Structure 1
Amino acid sequence: MADWGSGYIVDTAYVHDFCRVQVPAMLSFAALAKGVAAPGGRGEALSYCDLGCGQGLTATIVAAANPNTKVFAADFNPTHIAGARSLADAAGLDNIVFREADFAELVDDASVPEFDIIALHGVYSWIGADHRKAIVALIRRRLKPGGLVYVSYDAMPGWAGMAPLRRLMVQLQGAQPQVSSKRALDQALALADRLKEAGAHFYRMYPQAAVQLERLRKLPASYLAHELLTRDWQAFTFADLAQELTAAKLTYLGSAHLTDHVDRVNFTDAQQALLADLADPLINETTRDMIIGRQFRRDIFAKGFAPMTPMAARDRWLASRFVLTSPRDDIELAFDAPLGRFQLRSELYQPVIDAFAAAPLTLREVVERLPETTLGWASLTDAIKVLVGQGHLAPALPLEDEAVRQRSTQAFNAAVTARAKETTELRYLASPVTGGGIRVDPLTQLYMQARRKGIADPAALLASLAAFGGGSFEKDGRKLSADEVRAQIATKIAAIDDSVVPLLGRLGIV
């Protein structure tokens, strides 16, 4: 095992993941939902930093979809940085810089610019106190006044039961440092199982720990090793984390997860009354976590801000542009919330969804299309927050300069789809409309590539690629013949043409 990781897993690379809520337009909209004007939503030139960028996929998509934004992405793992640079170079991106460095090295580095936005996704809970102090010092020195910080972290009380078991897993790995993280993960999960089988009183005291562990087992092993075996992991109460960030002159603005902004989705009337009596924002927010049992937070802090007047906020809402990011027919008007399965009112939400189905629109254009009796202002803005929070809708950048953004995203998407024959890890393409990414599976990527090249029979090509790559197709336990595979792929292509291609067209990807 390498020893330069300061207790962090370094022999297994992290997953290639994209975090939609740290896209500049998303962060700016979350601030608007709290009545604050913030950078990132109008396509303006920005300086953006992704600290602990991992494989760099989010940072690279932000750079590709926002070509007038200068992106600085740093990670201490050279394997991550090498891979990220390779993808950015293949896409011809000249507005992103990758730096292999730990946080302490960056604090006194005069070449590090000032930033409008600093993002830390999946970092803060997985590093030690010294590294957190370095991050706070870096934010203090390099975040512009009025700038935003996005930080996600494991939260209390949701990890309270699991924390002792997780600590035992880390101790098991620490006792045998020569063992790989993959082997250590297998041993740690086996020990957790044996504890349960042996009737450990721990599981009776904390029954949620078993449920949480089963949920975690479904995640990729490369993710799970980083999640469970990092030595200095800590779950924070909101108040404790907010207190650490005060040294960087940061003030809590709100959640980056827009559904968190709609209290009726998350709390009963009695719970809302309780929260209304808690004027202190730190106590109020921590109490919200206690009610929900929150396990993970996605917070936005600002280095100084002035709330807009209600009229100015309303004008900015009306000028904001949004785009549907799910096929209209796939949108369920129900989702799992802290209160259970939450059912949205079809007569209120469906007209909004239908309005956005054809093309990106400003909220003013949507209001002009809706029946006068459909929604009041508060209900309409709540509906937008919920649809964005559930991933069905996204803030869209202004139409101006979209052609410039499209040239950049086309080059990035071509670099991604060119790798679809070799790897299934890159599952996101960049959108010039949202300034972010959209999940696109490898088969769809290969089909899009075949379409661009004018392949007459893409189903036959994809079937041959699957066979060449060692892929096999089965049905009812029987391996399919070549003709059956081709027919199955043809059926999938028809479904892609029916629902996915129109969606990607709306997002400026095809």
Structure 2
Amino acid sequence: MTSWAHGYVADSPYTFAYQAAQAPGNLALICAMMGVDWQPTARMNVADIGCGRGYTVNTLAAANPGWTVLGLDYNPAHIAEAAALAEKARIDNATFVEADLAEMTDAEIDQIPELDVVSLHGVWTWVSDPVRAGIVRLLARRLKPGGLCYVGYNALPGFGGDMALQRLFRHLTALQPLGSSPEKARAVIPTIRALHASKPANLLPTGMLKRIAEDETELDASYLAHEFLTAHWRPVFFEDLCADLAPAKLDYVGSAGFHENVPDLIFSPEQRAIYETLPMGPAREFMKDLVLQRPFRRDVFVRGLRRTDPAVALDRLVLGACKTLPEKSPSIGVPVGSAELGPDLWEPIAAALREAPQSLGRLRSLTPDRNPNAAELLTVLAGAGFVLPVLRDVGPSEATQRFNRAVAETYWREGRRGGQYAMASPVTAAGLACTWMELAVACQIGDSGPEWPDAETIATRILPDISGEALEAAKGMVEELLSERPAIWRRFGII
């Protein structure tokens, strides 16, 4: 680690990834579901604490010219990269600041504008107590009354099984005298695999350990280093997080995981009976944590809770299909089995969504004899990733097209290895999840006017270093994308 890192992994950048849960439009879905009165507006101040390489900040800024979006991060390399991308895409409403919240004075914090939304994705569990205290001071001083705070963190008891794995990583990498943090993490994977194969009693076969020890494709070493080698890494119970955030006067809204807010999809009858005896608040959330496979919680809080009728709030939500809708209902796995829609519900709903974005109220009205539950309908549609909120009825903007092109051009090497990419969309006021290949193809046809180049021309343009069988494979991928995706890209103002 570098000498100034104070226990953080700073000798390698974090993964370049768009975090959809942070998008204010998605947070509004959760608020409606939970009966909390909050909606994004045309002009807002949004902050991402621990913004990493700034992809989410830049995406939100490109999609929302009326917003001011602030990214704070401890690592100057992250800030430099994020600012360079904003400059390349000519995004003037994104600001990036190198900041150590443990050392920021109240006067420095007060230079930040009042904030409508603050996000902390993958921050709280990895930072020291002084940094946590600085975060709470910022929330108390700068988050507006009525503003939202999203916190994504490693949670107990769900992450308890991986605490031994984290300690094992630290012991083994300490034996590596040379190399960067990712190189050390990569070097110890064979030992972890051998130990896992021997089935030690207290190295539990968690999902994370299986991904490391059993999957043929290795996890990104930079991700593993940031996940496990930070000196301050500590998963927390939800109740303890709430206590730490109390000075900022935050109230819990709900989980950004849709089905985690629906008790009928979580508990068996016996578990539900116990759940109903518990008081609202941390006790019920702890009961959920005992039942759910939830090592990483994604919680939404509000500073000043205002209630609204969830039935009314849900029915006015407008949703657009962001993937090709299948003939049969999508299904999401839940503790009690699966959540899906029967054919009599799915077929008219899917047909309407294929035509145009629809309000949730209209989708429910298509089957009046069934009167589907709005929260469960939203859970299946949005929880399975087939719809996004539609906040505006607009076409492509120069800002989003410039930004998408800048990402496609800048990250063409990294993107070909995978990752969480997104196209900035003025319609959903956030990102439309995609692969790098999808992003590059959309930019090519968006720049070409009504007459698109053929698949081979596009493949050659975006991947100029390939030929032969690799080029033929890329051509096939482009042809498939051109046959399925343009209607969706138009729907969300990408092209």
TM-score, normalised to structure 2, is 0.90
Residue 369 of structure 2 aligns with an amino acid whose one-letter code is T
Residue 463 (structure 1) shift? 4.7
Work out which of the residue numbers 353, 356, 362 in structure 2 matches 1:356: 353
Q: Which residue of 1 aligns with 2:301?
A: 301
Say whether the 8 Å CA contact 1:349–1:383 is kept in structure 2: no
Q: What whole-Å deviation, never above 9, does each CA across 1:156-192 have from its counterpart, x for those lacking one?
A: 1122222023113223434657542123202433332
Partner of 1:316: 313
Asked if structure 1 preserves the Cα contact closer than 8 Å seen for 2:19 and 2:56, the reply is: yes
Q: How many residues align?
A: 486
Instruction: Give the alignment's TM-score, normalised by structure 1.
Output: 0.88
- Which segment is superposed worse, 354-363 or 284-293? 354-363
**Counterpart in 2 of 1:478?**
none
- List aligned pairs for 1:78-89, cutoff 5 A: 78-89=76-87
Q: Mean alpha-carbon deviation: is it higher for 460-469 or for 62-71?
A: 460-469
Q: 1:461 aligns with which of 457, 462, 467?
A: 457
Aligned mates of 1:411, 1:196 — CA distance in 2:
47
2:441 — aligned with what?
Answer: 447
Q: Cα–Cα, structure 1 residues 274 and 212, in superposed 2: closer, same or farther, change >3 Å?
A: farther
Instruction: Give 1:189-338 correspondences, 5 Å limit.
Output: 189-197=189-197, 200-203=200-203, 206-208=204-206, 210-211=209-210, 213-214=212-213, 218-308=218-308, 310=309, 313-329=310-326, 333-338=330-335
Q: Please say if 1:411 is aligned against 2:402.
A: yes
- Note the alpha carbon deviations across 1:417-448, whole angstroms, 9 max, x for none: 33365542683211111111123333333333
Distance 2:464 2:228 in 1: 36
Pairing partner for 2:43 from 22, 42, 45:
45
- How far residue 340 of structure 1 moved from its aligned partner, in angstroms, is 4.2
Task: Go from structure 1 to structure 2 and tell me whether the alpha carbon gap of 1:282 and 1:443 turns closer, same or farther (over 3 Å shift).
Answer: closer
Alpha-carbon distance in 1 for matches of 2:223, 2:329: 29
**2:429 counterpart residue number:** 435
The alignment status of 1:491 with 2:476, answered yes or no, reads yes
| Cα drift, residue 82 of structure 1 | 1.2
Aligned to 2:486: 501
Who is 1:477 aligned against? none
SS of the equivalent of 2:320 reads: strand
Whole-Å Cα distance in 2 between the matches of residues 152 and 198 of structure 1?
Answer: 33
Give the secondary structure class of the aligned counterpart of 1:202: coil
Amino acid at match of 1:19: Q
Change (3 A) 1:45 1:371: same
How has the CA–CA distance of structure 1 residues 450 and 105 changed in structure 2, closer, same or farther, with 3 Å as cutoff? same
Counterpart Cα distance in 2 of 1:339 and 1:428:
32
Give deviations 1:87-142, integer Å, cap 9, x for gaps. Answer: 11122111111001122344531321110111000111111112111111111111
Q: Is the 8 A contact 2:422 2:431 kept in 1?
A: yes
Counterparts of 1:39-78 in structure 2 under 5 Å? Answer: 39-40=39-40, 43-78=41-76
Measure the CA separation in 2 of the matches of 1:74 and 1:381. Answer: 34
Aligned 8 A contact 1:334 1:341 in 2: yes
Residue 287 of structure 1: CA displacement? 1.3
Change (3 A) 1:249 1:107: farther
Aligned equivalents of 1:486 and 1:58: distance in 2?
31
How much has 1:76 moved relative to structure 2? 1.1
1:304-342 CA-to-partner distances (Å, cap 9, x unmatched) read 11212x3xx433333321111111138752232233454
Deviations 1:205-257 (A, max 9, x none): x3437436447975322212111211111111111111111121111111112
Please give the alpha-carbon distance, in whole angstroms, between the structure 1 residues aligned to 2:120 and 2:434.
24
The separation in 2 between residues aligned to 1:2 and 1:282, in whole angstroms, is 39
Partner Cα distance (1:321, 1:467) in 2: 37
Q: Is the 8 A contact 2:193 2:213 kept in 1?
A: no
Please give the root-mean-square deviation of Cα atoms over the aligned residues, in Å.
2.6
Q: Check conservation: 1:334, 1:342, Cα contact below 8 A.
A: yes
Structure 1 residue 201: Cα displacement: 3.4
User: Can you give the 5+ residue segments of structure 2 that lack an aligned partner in the other structure?
Assistant: none
Report percent identity of matched pairs: 31
Whether the 8 Å contact between 1:259 and 1:390 is mirrored in structure 2 is: no
SS at match of 1:59: helix
